[in-house]
């Protein structure tokens, strides 16, 4: 009666280990085939096997002498017994061993009489199977042969572990290659993005001596005239020249040494020797451990912007000085005109004058009033800017001032109003708002020469500034008048510039509006086409 072998105590882990190795049903491998062939030679046996004991079968990884066999049922396998032993299990004559005497592998094919198997034990002590030699006649191993069989089973376990290490390394390599492919793809996207960036970008590797550049995009080449090959592996100081400020250079050097962000406007030189004002921002880049690894530099040419900024600062200073001088003069003239108009009015009202004299005095009075209006404009213009502290709803104050402003309309001018502004509070004095509206309407009326269409629109908009975007009230006044050519548009906000005949305008209306809008922190825009008309848009920020 065949006796099936006992099931090892750690069977579950043993089978799990076997599965983990992915060795069952795998293709033949030279290492195992060679060992079995060698064993058959050395032990002079017809059969030698590397066999793994699976749940219900023993499976042959290497097989000499049993062609066509890949496995046998576990309950008749000699190896199921051998994996329970610590050393070699030797069955000298199966017919004389009650465990195997009736075993079909003994009584039938392949007719086993002799079996010797050493367990294959891995370094974690799992017993996966055996390395065994089999004969069809009874035999007995010498002590040397037993020890050789044990050695060969040891070689099989080493081969299994080496095979596992190789497989793991292969998996790790594949994973690494996948990760590298993802990184390469992302890096490529990033590089293409920076390459296409319209602002000049440079990167210096701070682990290299002298912060040499390892990257510069196309915009940098366009800005400086230096190609990539002339830029890389150099410190960016090649852009400096005779007028580059040594203080700013020092400031850059100190920020780089301290690993701090810095922004400067520094004179730099292109490859062709022309200079430009470079707004340069340098920002440090740290790795995960906080170590400074690189600096990124953003460069832009602000030469024209700076020229405009300087010019408008000069203009502002000039205007302030002029305003102060004009204010003084206007005040004095106003003081003199006041008694003149009072006395002329008194002469007309209370003293005998001939009708002709009264007519003359009337003209004097008109002239005095005109002169006082002009002086009023000059005084308003020369007053220093101040916050009004008055808060009004935009549409409400507009409706209150509108009747005053449209007194200037003639009967051939049609007015179209579009008031689409939701309730919105603005900070501006009633006087200043009326100066804005009256001036803009009166300019529009005179541009139309007495006939045309005046459109006034009110709505809500957004005022963009570098610091923030704020809600704003928008007033847009469009006329169908004569319009302005480009030169007139450029000078329209310049004090005393006027296209009206002498005596008909001070040229202070639009500059005054400009100054008042600026005072609110707002914005004014003029659009005009000769012969078609003009639109002036003003934005006043919400309070």
Ligand X SMILES: Cc1cc2nc3c(=O)[nH]c(=O)nc-3n(C[C@H](O)[C@H](O)[C@H](O)COP(=O)(O)O)c2cc1C
CA angle 255, 258, 261 (to 5 degrees): 45
Q: Which stretch binds ligand X (CB under 6 A): 111-119, 249-257, 351-359, 460-468?
A: 249-257
The residue (of 297 and 495) whose beta carbon lies closer to ligand X is 297
* Relative orientation angle of helices 430-448 and 509-519, to the nearest 10 degrees: 140
Contacts with ligand X in 166-205 (CB under 6 A)?
A: 202-204
Q: What is the DSSP letter of 542?
A: B
Minimum distance from CB of 194 to ligand X (Å)?
Answer: 13
Read off the DSSP letter of residue 408: G
How would you list the strands of the sheet with 89-91, edge to edge?
71-73, 57-64, 47-53, 127-135, 114-121, 89-91
Site residue total, ligand X (CB under 6 A): 21
Q: CB of 478 within 8 A of CB of 535? A: yes
* Contact window for ligand X (CB under 6 A) among 156-164, 248-256, 392-400, 459-467: 248-256
Among the listed residues 57, 127, 240, 476, the single contact to ligand X using CB under 6 A: 240
Question: Which of the stretches 81-89, 234-242, 361-369, 382-390 binds ligand X when contact is defined by CB under 6 A?
Answer: 234-242
What b-and-e string marks burial along 440-477, b requiring 16 or more CB atoms within 10 Å of the CB? bbbbbbbbbeeebebbbbbbbbebeeeeeebbbbbbbb
- Other Cβ atoms less than 10 A from the Cβ of 216: the count is 26
The whole-angstrom separation of Cα 15 and Cα 1 is 27
Minimum distance from residue 17 beta carbon to ligand X (Å):
55
Stretch of 61-69, 186-194, 236-244, 495-503 contacting ligand X, by CB under 6 A: 236-244
- The closest of 53, 98, 45, 61 to 77, measured between CA atoms, is 53
**How far apart, in whole angstroms, are the C-alpha atoms of residue 278 and residue 302?**
6
* Cα–Cα distance list, 213 to 10, 281, 292, 516 (Å): 62, 15, 15, 50
Cα separation, 395 vs 278, whole angstroms: 45
- Cβ closer to ligand X: 65 or 259? 259
Query: What is the β-pairing status of strands 57-64 and 47-53?
Result: antiparallel
Beta carbons of 138 and 130 less than 8 angstroms apart: no
Residues in 441-500 at the binding interface with ligand X, rule: CB under 6 A: none
Least separation, in Å, of the C-beta of 246 and ligand X? 9
Task: Please pick, from the candidates 211, 375, 428, 438, the single residue that binds ligand X as defined by CB under 6 A.
Answer: 211
The answer to whether 71 and 118 have CB atoms below 8 angstroms apart is no
Report if residue 217 touches ligand X, rule: CB under 6 A. no
- Please, what is the minimum distance in Å from the beta carbon of residue 286 to ligand X? 14
Residue from 83, 262, 282, 482 binding ligand X (CB under 6 A)? 282
**CB nearer ligand X, residue 48 or residue 204:** 204
Q: Does 253 contact ligand X by CB under 6 A?
A: yes
Alpha helices by DSSP H, 6-142: 11-21, 30-43, 78-82, 104-107
Based on the shown chain and the rule CB under 6 A, indicate whether residue 538 belongs to the binding site for ligand X.
Answer: no
Given a contact cutoff of 8 angstroms between Cβ atoms, the answer to whether 32 and 62 are in contact is yes
Stretch that binds ligand X, among 112-120, 191-199, 292-300, 380-388 (CB under 6 A): 292-300
Nearer to ligand X, 67 or 246 (CB): 246
Report which secondary-structure segment, H or E, holds 359: helix 355-382
Write down the least CB distance from residue 294 to ligand X, Å: 8
**Chain residue at closest Cβ approach to ligand X:** 297
Stretch that binds ligand X, among 75-83, 274-282, 354-362, 484-492 (CB under 6 A): 274-282
Residue 528 makes contact with ligand X by CB under 6 A: no
Q: Does 106 bind ligand X (CB under 6 A)?
A: no
CB 308 to ligand X: min, Å: 22
Do 113 and 106 contact (CB within 8 A), yes or no?
A: yes
Binds ligand X by CB under 6 A, chosen from 102, 249, 334, 518: 249
Query: Is-contact 277 306, C-beta < 8 A?
Result: yes
Interaction of residue 252 with ligand X, rule CB under 6 A = yes
CA–CA gap between residue 279 and residue 353 (Å, rounded): 74
Q: Which is nearer to ligand X, 186 or 237 (CB)?
A: 237
Q: By CB under 6 A, tell whether 235 contacts ligand X.
A: yes
- Which residues in the 423-442 window bind ligand X by CB under 6 A? none
Given 239, 406, 437, 538, the residue binding ligand X (CB under 6 A): 239
Q: Which of 32, 100, 295, 523 binds ligand X (CB under 6 A)?
A: 295
Q: How far is the CB of 283 from ligand X (least distance, A)?
A: 9
Q: Which of 427, 434, 421 is nearest to 391 (CA)?
A: 427
Write down the least CB distance from residue 256 to ligand X, Å: 5
Is the Cβ–Cβ distance between 513 and 436 less than 8 Å? yes
Using CB under 6 A, which of 48, 266, 458, 512 touches ligand X? 266
Beta bridge partners of 533: 529
- Rule CB under 6 A: say whether 297 interacts with ligand X: yes
By the rule CB under 6 A, 223 interacts with ligand X: no
Q: Are 433 and 475 in contact (CB under 8 A)?
A: no
| Cβ at position 248, least distance to ligand X in Å | 8
Q: Which are the contacts of 469, defined by CB distance < 8 A and separation ≥ 6?
A: 462, 463
Binding part of the chain for ligand X, among 65-73, 163-171, 233-241, 523-531 by CB under 6 A, reads 233-241
Q: Output the smallest distance, CB 188 to ligand X, in A.
A: 22
* Binding piece for ligand X, criterion CB under 6 A, among 278-286, 322-330, 470-478, 500-508: 278-286
Which residue, 300 or 455, has its beta carbon nearer to ligand X?
A: 300
Instruction: Report the interface residues with ligand X, using CB under 6 A.
Output: 202-204, 211, 235-237, 239-240, 249, 252-253, 256, 266, 268, 278, 280, 282, 295, 297, 299
């Amino acid at each position: 009666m065949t006796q099936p072998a006992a099931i090892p105590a750690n069977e579950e882990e043993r089978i799990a280990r076997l599965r983990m190795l992915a060795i069952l049903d795998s293709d033949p491998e030279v290492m195992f085939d060679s060992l079995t062939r060698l064993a058959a030679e050395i032990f002079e046996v017809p059969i030698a096997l590397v066999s793994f004991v699976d749940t219900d079968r023993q499976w042959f990884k290497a097989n000499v002498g049993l062609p066509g066999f890949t496995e046998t049922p576990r309950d008749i396998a000699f190896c199921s017994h051998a994996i329970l032993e610590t050393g070699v299990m030797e069955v000298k004559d199966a017919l004389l061993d009650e465990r195997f005497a009736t075993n079909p592998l003994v009584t039938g094919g392949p007719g086993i009489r002799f079996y010797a198997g050493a367990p294959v034990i891995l370094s974690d002590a799992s017993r996966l199977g055996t390395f065994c030699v089999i004969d069809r006649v009874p035999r007995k191993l010498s002590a040397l042969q037993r020890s050789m069989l044990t050695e060969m089973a040891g070689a099989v376990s080493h081969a299994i572990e080496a095979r596992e290490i190789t497989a793991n390394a292969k998996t790790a390599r594949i994973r690494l290659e996948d990760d590298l492919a993802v990184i390469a793809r992302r890096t490529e996207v990033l590089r293409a993005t920076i390459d296409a960036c319209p602002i000049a970008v440079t990167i210096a590797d701070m682990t290299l001596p002298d912060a040499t550049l390892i990257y510069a995009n196309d915009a940098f080449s366009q800005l400086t005239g230096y190609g990539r090959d002339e830029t890389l592996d150099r410190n960016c100081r090649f852009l400096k020249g005779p007028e580059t400020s040594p203080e700013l250079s020092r400031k850059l050097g100190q920020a780089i040494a301290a690993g701090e962000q810095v922004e400067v406007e520094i004179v730099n030189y292109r490859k062709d020797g022309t200079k430009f004002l470079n707004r340069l921002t340098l920002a440090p880049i740290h790795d995960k451990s906080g170590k400074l690894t690189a600096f990124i530099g953003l460069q832009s040419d602000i030469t024209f912007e700076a020229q405009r900024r300087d010019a408008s600062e000069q203009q502002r200073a000039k205007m302030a000085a002029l305003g102060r001088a004009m204010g003084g003069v206007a005040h004095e003239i106003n003081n003199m005109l006041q008694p003149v108009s009072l006395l002329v009015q008194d002469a007309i009202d209370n003293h005998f004058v001939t009708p002709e004299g009264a007519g003359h005095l009337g003209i004097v009075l008109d002239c005095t009033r005109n002169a006082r209006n002009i002086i009023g404009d000059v005084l308003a213009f020369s007053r220093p800017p101040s916050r009004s502290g008055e808060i009004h709803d935009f549409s409400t104050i507009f409706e209150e001032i509108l009747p005053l402003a449209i007194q200037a309309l003639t009967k051939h001018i049609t007015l179209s109003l579009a008031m689409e502004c939701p309730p919105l509070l603005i900070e501006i004095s009633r006087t200043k708002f009326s100066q804005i509206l009256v001036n803009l309407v009166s300019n529009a009326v005179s541009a139309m020469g007495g006939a045309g269409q005046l459109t006034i629109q009110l709505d809500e908009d957004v005022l963009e500034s570098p610091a923030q975007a704020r809600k704003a009230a928008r007033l847009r006044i469009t006329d169908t008048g004569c319009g302005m050519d480009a030169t007139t548009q450029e000078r329209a906000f310049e004090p005393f510039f006027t296209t009206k005949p002498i005596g008909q305008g001070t040229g202070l209306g639009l500059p005054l509006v400009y100054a008042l809008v600026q005072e609110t922190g707002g914005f004014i825009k003029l659009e005009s086409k000769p012969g078609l008309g003009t639109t002036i848009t003003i934005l006043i920020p919400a309070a």
